[in-house]
Amino acid sequence: MRAVVTGCAGFIGSSLTDRLLSQGWEVVGIDSFEGYYPRSLKEANLVSAQRNEAFRLVEADLIELAAPGAPEPLAGIVASADHVYHLAAQPGVRGSWGRSFGTYVRNNVLATQALLECAKDHGVESFVCASSSSVYGDSATLPMEETAECRPFSPYGVTKLASEHLARLYARNFGLPTVSLRFFTVYGPRQRPDMAFNRFIRAALEDQPIQVFGDGSQTRDFTYISDIVDGILAAPKAPSGSLLNLGGGTRIPLSGALEVLASVMGREIRVQRADAQAGDVADTWASVERARDVIGFEPKVDLATGLSAEYAWLREAL
């Protein structure tokens, strides 16, 4: 089997790429190495893949690849694939305000449309698109179900919801078999340095206080990276145009998660409080019943086990 993985050097994209290669797939990875965090970290994510002859990296921007006259046209790359896994995106809720919003529109909406446009004419077996729990916004109904009204609470969430709508439009109008997956707070080895557990572990290792936005009562549904990859690989079994939550299926207050982290690290964690940030929601909690029924998704890794793995990885990386 042959796959295209966009965002292949990122946290989730590289983890998916390694899993596909371990299962004997041929993978073309596309990544623009956007400067959201250091390039060296993304290159480290690809060390294993780069050693595999079945992997080829295309370092390029999706919109530029789709433009007329591109040295290696995006349409040609997509035409060689059985499955497309679209994980490339501009991440981060807090960074999506103000003038940065244009970057989010370009990298999350326009790039998705360009890829969908290429894929619709080339008979791919599936087009799996990464979305986010951010599309729900500050929902009063928990757990969050796919049928709930989506009212994003950040510009980032708006762009991810737009990408979902585009995927469904191409499914309905052109028969492109798309599936959009709403990820809930993914963590584990290779987690981005701006994400909470990565920041918390690094601060604790340096004996610095952990900065927590808000009072710690906000709850999150944390999902371990291997469970997310399991769900991505199972997603092509879903009917075309599907929307599915991928989450841990439970929620915990941030203060409780810090207690688990302190136990894993075997040290006291000092907390420094800061004001809640614009776009941060009070609670997330995924209903995974639909994903369980449709693709057999079943989260397996509990928070303590997952944090132990991330702690071990980050301690070695530092």
Give catalytic residues, as residue numbers: 156
**What's 147's DSSP letter?**
T
Give the integer Cα–Cα distance in Å for 125 and 96: 33
Beta bridge partners of 115: none
DSSP SS3 for 36: coil
Of 109, 24, 46, 114, nearest to 74 by C-alpha is 114
Residue 169, SS3 per DSSP: helix
- The residue among 247, 252, 249 whose CA lies nearest residue 228 is 247
Burial label for 250, CB within 10 Å (0-12, 13-18, 19+), is middle
Query: Which candidate, 81, 90, 134, 96, places its Cα nearest to that of 112?
Result: 90
Query: How far, rounded to the nearest angstrom, does the alpha carbon of residue 272 sit from its chain's CA centroid?
Result: 28
In angstroms and rounded to an integer, the radius of gyration of the C-alpha atoms of the chain is 19
Closest to 231 measured CA to CA, from 197, 189, 159, 180: 180
Any alpha helices (H) in 188-283, and if so which ranges?
A: 196-205, 225-234, 254-265
For 34, phi and psi rounded to 5 degrees?
-55, 140
Instruction: Tell me which amino acid residue 307 is.
Output: L
Which DSSP category does 144 fall into? Answer: B
* Residue 64: C-alpha distances to residues 70, 235, 242 (Å): 7, 28, 28
